[in-house]
Each structure stands twice: as structure tokens, then as C-alpha cells.
Structure 1
Amino acid sequence: MKAAPGESVMILSEARRILLCLRYGIGDVVMELPALETLRRAAPQAHLTALGSRHALQILEGDPRLDALACVQDWGLTHWGDPGTGESVERLEAWLQEQEFDLILDVSHAVIGVRDTLWARERGTVLDTVMNSPDPMLKKGKSGIEALNAIIYNSWGLEVPADLLPRIWLGAEESRFRETFLHRSGLEEGLVVGLSPVASSALKRWPETRLAALADRLVEEFEARLLLFCSPHDDSREVLGAMRHAGRVTVVLARHLRQTAALLTRCATFICNDTGLMHVAAAVGTPVVAVFGPTSPRLYLPPLPSCRAAGAETPCPHRKNNAFGPALCMVENRCLVDEKACIHHVELREVWIKVRQTLAAAAAAIR
């Protein structure tokens, strides 16, 4: 059954077994972490299971705020829109029956096959943020996280503290990995800056040649050593091929997200596109300079003084500034205004100014 808003707090305080359906993407899950922490405080007695995609769940492994993780890929579901097969739905149904959840949060965020199965069961109480749109808050100029927190309050009855920001918990295992990696790479001392060409869409990828030029400037002006974080497909070739100082770069191929997060803590700043890694870096305390194209920094840039956006002033009539979701150009996978995407109009100088500001602020904080 669906609960009335006024009943939400009582339902949370009495729940024994809670299933939290996470959004699919890495960045989306990181943005939900303040709500997760508030939920844990509100229901300390409950056994809390988070359900999501394998890549996003990696950041929550070993997290003390959760009691269990459930991965949709374990039931044969391969992407957010996957309705599943008869066999996968049967296995999911058996798992749900075994778990006996008495409260389910945000069914609408689950993979289609899980969502449809949960709605069909009609067992347990459901509190779902889909009943409240974040758009009114976004139209008032609020950040993406502020809008998410508002719909959490309207849907779950939980008030997320304004000063509670996303935080990824890292343990001793990640610390050991980081120290071993840095020792083997000779990166234990000196200035280390992280960079990444990774993007979920070509429209969100700043040209690799400009990233390479920025990397060379970091070496020449600051004598920096560089960590280049790449995707499983190893997109380092174009960046390294355009650099004069490629020997100062240590390539980090796609790793477990918690290992990546641990390495990001060594970086004085992280320069990237609007990706999940941007959110991960900010959530472990690393200053960020992110290059934006068809997405809005106000919605997606982590709301921290140490996080800066470049490209926000580049005009784009299809950019969504007051609503979540992909711009029309991203849906059609092509720029609808120009031969080149708007992110190609973000100049090196603009990003370099943001990087210098970020490094100066970090140095001042240390002093």
C-alpha cells in the first residue's frame, strides 16, 4: 500500500526491514547519500537493504549505514530499461518473499523488471519520491541536491539537514590499496592532480587535445605529477598522444570504484567532465573542476566551495536548467545547434583559470 505523507515518519520508526531502491547511475547514487544517512538515523532499528546496479553499488560496499546490498545484475537484468525474463522475475520474486520487506522506498527508481515486480506484489508499505516533482524547487534556483532533499521530505517525511553533504565511507582496505599504488608509482610526495576524459556521452566530453594541453601546463607551471583516470576501454591514448610531458602521467584504468575513490583522495584537484567520478571525487573531499556542456552545473555540480564549473556560460537552448533528465540533444546523440557540441566551445583558458583558483585555495587551506 502507499502511505499518506503524514504517516511517513511513524512508518519509518516502526519498520523492521527496509528496501531502498537506488537510482541507476553512479552520480545519482552519490547525490542520494545525504538522504541515506538521514534514513539510517531515523530508522536505526531497521535492517536496511539497498538495491541498485553493480557499478553504483560498489561505492556502498562495507558502508556502515547499510546492512545489505542487492545487485540487479544478479537476477540477469542488464540495464535500467530491462523488463527481465520469466526466469529472472521468478528469481526476484523468490528473493523478495524470502526478505519479507515491510517498507519499500522509491520503487520508481528501480530497474523496470524490479519496479514492475514490486508494484505487482502489493505487499509492504511504499514511500516513493516519484509522487513529488523536484521541478518547483529547481525553478526557484535550488541546487540538484537541495531539490532531491525537498522531495525526500515530502515523500518520506525526513528532513535532510542542509549541511549534510554526500560522503563516501572508505575503510582500511582502501587505504592499504592507495598506499601500495602510490608507493609503486612514486607518487607518495609532491603535487598530484587527477584528470579524466571519461564521459557518458560524446556531447559531454571536453576535447582530449585541450585536456592534454591543460595537463602540460600543470607539469610546466606546478611540476605536477598526474593521475589519468580512464574508462574500461582505456581512453588515455588521445590525451597522452597530444602531450609533451606524457612521462609525468600515471594511467589509472577502470578499477573498483572504492579503489578509484581512494586514489582520488591523493589528488590536490580533479579535472573532469560532468560524470559520476565528479561526484565520487567531491564525496571523498577532493576539490573538483568540472567542464560542463549540455548539462547544468546548478543541478549537478556538487554544492561545495571547493567545486568549480567551467562552461556554464556557454549558450545552449536545449540545456535543462530547471528539470532533471537528459537534454534533447543527448537523447538524439547529436548537437541540434551547431556542427560541434557546446562543450567544444569551452576554451582552455577558462578551465585553466578555474584550476589555478582551486589549487590556490587548496594551498591556502593547508597553510
Structure 2
Amino acid sequence: MKIIIYCLPGLGDTIMFTPCLRLLRQKFSEAEIVALTMFSASYEVLKDNSYLNDVILWEFLIKPKLQSLKFLCHLRKQKFDLSIMPFPAYRRTYNIVSFLVGAKKRIAHCFSKGYLTQFTFLNTKAIPINEELHNAKNNLNLLTLLGINLSHDEPKLDLNPSEDDKRFAHTFLSSLQLSGKDPIIGVHPGSIHYRRARHKRWPKEKFASLCDRLITQYKAKILIFEGPSERGLAKEIADLMRNKPIIIANLRLGQVMAIIKKCHLFIANNSGLMHIAAAMGTPVVVIAGPTNPKWDGPWGVKHRIVRKTLSCSPCYTYTLPYFSCQRKDFACLYEVTVEEVLEKVKELYNRKYYDRQISEEVNYG
């Protein structure tokens, strides 16, 4: 049996499908299971997954259309028996890709609208989404179409840095000359930067103030993470600070994962790195803004959500083409104060926990 999984949305969506991979392999132990990605970050987090036989990266957004069509024809010749479209794939282009590859059985979700306009009808079987559930749970429900019984225990995000990446993180953190008692707090002020997703980003001035307060109040070592679509953002924040943080940039994603695993707390917008932190078991404070944390908040990890409770928020749904705000000011995000974030940090902060973790994991003498 040959199975192809279309991990076409961004990094966070790909990570939220990983609990399904183990269940798929258990059900189809002898199958050839392939994942198709179109973002390099999604490829990086899946390429070493033991439940997959192969991971393919094809950057549809930058490849010429004719070249992409030839590529899909090549995949069609592989004669897949089953294709799986992870949640949330409310895009006609995704359904067209699945149809052109031509697996005999094509499963996906169906939404409250878009059956015709988004070509959902091209799938051979679809299950309605449940808007009360987390994205990871909606993905798990998709597996019931394959006769996979779900247990009451919720599978964890399945993401692990390699041994080489763990050694890199060990060497890198040992070079910071930590005192042995100071917590390491990771901060990710960015997010993916397309379809107006910059409106998921809390203002850099507030991040700078927050980092200074964390250093003053908790004697924290601040690591500011910067991705490829966020060039210069970490430096801009560092330039606004009284105290200087450590900027984490220009590293492979596996190395970033291993460093985040060593952090004792992670503060971020709703981003792919936020989901990596959750997968690494690192407690997370999320500044949510217009997104709905019930759907795509941290899965399976201790966390807190910071957002302004407005009558119009959360406003972003998967059937919208991009982020927009009826108030025109994105107050749900931009009016979140530094004090409100600090309060959530305080709720997660446990001195005994940090002391134990630091002595066990970060004091490399």
C-alpha cells in the first residue's frame, strides 16, 4: 500500500498533524508512507520522522506552474492508494493537487462552506470539522475514516531533535556561562509573513520592554529566536533593550528545536516555533491576538494564553483568505500590555522547577 500525506500549510499545521503519524504506521505497518511539503521548515521537522518512508519538498509558491504540473504528473505515476489532507486545508489548490496526484482514496475535512468553490468535492471521502476541537484533534478524527480507533489518551506532538542537534545545543548553551540558577527564557517575536500574517506579531517595542523586565525580575537569560522571514527583527528588539539578549538566528531548524528544548519557558506569538516549544515539552506563554487558541494553541504542554477579550475576537477563521480586522486596529493583539504577559509568566514560573531543570540540564561544568 502506498500513502501520501499533503503537509502543505505552514510549520505549525504540519506539527499539529504529527500525533497521527504513529497511529498511521501502527495501522499500515507495511505501507510506504510519503509526506509532501511545500515549505522548507515543514520538510525539516518531518525528514527524520521514523514513521515516514520519505519526505518530499516541492515549493509550489516559487516554482513555475508548468514545472509543478510536471512534478504532479510524476507523483501520479507512483499510483498511490491513499492520500490524506491534514487540517486545516481550506484551499482549492490543495484539493486540486490531491486530485491531480490521483490516489484511489482521497480523504480530507469538509468545512461549513466551500464544498464547490474550494473543490472539496474532489475528495472521495470527507469528515466535517468540529469547531470546538483543537486542530490536532480534528486531524486525529480524520483517521477514523480509515478505521483507526482513537483512545481516550491524546497522543503528543511527535517531534525530536537529532543527537547531533542535541550535542550542538549542549555546546552552545555551555558557552553562555550560566550561573546555574538563572532561567533560560526563549522569546519568538515573529511569525510567518504572508497573507498579512504579520498581524499575529505583538509590537517589537513591547517585546523589548518585556525582555528587560524578565531580566530584572527573574535574572533570566533571554534567547530571542529569529526565522528566515524575520531578518533583522531580533536585532531591532535588542537595540531597544537596556540589557542585551542572545540572538538565535541562521541555525538549522533541528538546532533551534534542541535549544528550545533546553529553555525553561518560551514566550511567543502564535507561530511555528510556539508549536515546536510545545512539542519539546517547554512551558509556553502565547500572545494570541486574532487567532483562536482553542484551535491552534499549544498542544499537550503547560501553557498560558494572553489576549484581549473583545466581542469581535477571535475573528480569524480558516475560511478567510487572510487576516483582517473589522475595527481596523487589531486591538486584540496590539493592546495586550507587558504587565498582562508578565502575569502569565508568573503563573507558570516555579522557582523549584527551574532550579531542578537548570542543575540537571544546563549546568555543564
Give the secondary structure class of the aligned counterpart of 1:357. Answer: helix
Counterpart residue number, 2:105: 125
Matches of 1:68 and 1:35 in 2, distance apart? Answer: 16
- Pair 303,63 (structure 1): closer, same or farther in 2 beyond 3 Å: closer
Deviation at 1:262, TM superposition (A): 0.7
Q: 1:49 aligns with which of 26, 30, 34?
A: 34
Counterpart residue number, 1:11: none
Matches of 2:3 and 2:351 in 1, distance apart? Answer: 42
Counterpart residue number, 2:345: 355
Aligned residue-pair number: 332
In 1, are the aligned partners of 2:281 and 2:301 still within 8 Å (CA)?
Answer: no
Give the secondary structure class of the aligned counterpart of 1:127. Answer: strand
- Pair 34,365 (structure 1): closer, same or farther in 2 beyond 3 Å: farther
**Structure 2, unaligned runs of 5 or more:** 111-125, 358-365
Deviation at 1:358, TM superposition (A): 1.3
Matches of 2:289 and 2:311 in 1, distance apart? Answer: 8
Deviation at 1:225, TM superposition (A): 0.9
Deviation at 1:112, TM superposition (A): 6.5
Give the TM-score taking structure 2 as reference length: 0.81
Give the secondary structure class of the aligned counterpart of 1:210. Answer: helix
Matches of 2:94 and 2:290 in 1, distance apart? Answer: 30
| CA deviation profile, 1:85-119 (whole Å, cap 9, x unmatched) | 2333123312441x332222229949876753541
Q: 1:101 aligns with which of 80, 83, 88?
A: 80
Counterpart residue number, 1:8: none
Counterpart residue number, 1:236: 234
**Structure 1, unaligned runs of 5 or more:** 1-15
Deviation at 1:319, TM superposition (A): 2.3
Matches of 2:71 and 2:160 in 1, distance apart? Answer: 31
Matches of 2:233 and 2:146 in 1, distance apart? Answer: 41
Matches of 1:199 and 1:132 in 2, distance apart? Answer: 30
Matches of 2:66 and 2:259 in 1, distance apart? Answer: 42
Deviation at 1:315, TM superposition (A): 0.6
Counterpart residue number, 2:214: 218
Q: Which amino acid aligns with 2:133?
A: K
Q: Which deviates more, 32-41 or 272-281?
A: 32-41
Give the secondary structure class of the aligned counterpart of 1:263. Answer: helix
Q: 1:89 aligns with which of 69, 84, 90?
A: 69
| CA deviation profile, 1:141-182 (whole Å, cap 9, x unmatched) | 4333223322332x3332343321212022212112212222
Counterpart residue number, 2:163: 172
Q: Could you say which structure has the higher helix fraction?
A: 1
Give the secondary structure class of the aligned counterpart of 2:300. Answer: coil
Q: Which amino acid aligns with 1:33?
A: T
Q: 1:300 aligns with which of 288, 296, 301?
A: 296
Identity among equivalent positions (%) equals: 24
Matches of 1:143 and 1:121 in 2, distance apart? Answer: 29
Q: 2:326 aligns with which of 322, 325, 336?
A: 336
- Pair 142,119 (structure 1): closer, same or farther in 2 beyond 3 Å: closer
Give the secondary structure class of the aligned counterpart of 1:50. Answer: strand
Q: Which amino acid aligns with 2:309?
A: T
- Pair 357,365 (structure 1): closer, same or farther in 2 beyond 3 Å: farther
Q: Which amino acid aligns with 1:133?
A: P
Q: Which deviates more, 53-62 or 117-126?
A: 117-126
Give the secondary structure class of the aligned counterpart of 1:209. Answer: helix
Matches of 2:305 and 2:51 in 1, distance apart? Answer: 31
Matches of 2:81 and 2:329 in 1, distance apart? Answer: 53
Q: Which amino acid aligns with 1:31?
A: M
In 1, are the aligned partners of 2:162 and 2:254 still within 8 Å (CA)?
Answer: no
Counterpart residue number, 1:39: 24
- Pair 225,96 (structure 1): closer, same or farther in 2 beyond 3 Å: same
Q: Which amino acid aligns with 1:93?
A: C
Q: Which amino acid aligns with 2:183?
A: L
Give the TM-score taking structure 1 as reference length: 0.81
Q: Which amino acid aligns with 1:279?
A: H
Give the secondary structure class of the aligned counterpart of 1:265. Answer: helix
Counterpart residue number, 2:360: none
In 2, are the aligned partners of 1:24 and 1:110 still within 8 Å (CA)?
Answer: no
1:1-367 matched pairs, under 5 angstroms:
16-53=1-38, 54-73=40-59, 77-78=60-61, 85-97=65-77, 99-106=78-85, 109=89, 115-116=95-96, 118-120=98-100, 122-130=102-110, 131-134=126-129, 137-138=130-131, 141-153=132-144, 155-161=145-151, 162-187=153-178, 189=180, 190-200=182-192, 201-232=197-228, 233-246=231-244, 249-304=245-300, 306-311=302-307, 313-317=308-312, 319-320=314-315, 324-326=318-320, 330-332=322-324, 335-339=325-329, 341-360=331-350, 363=353, 366=356
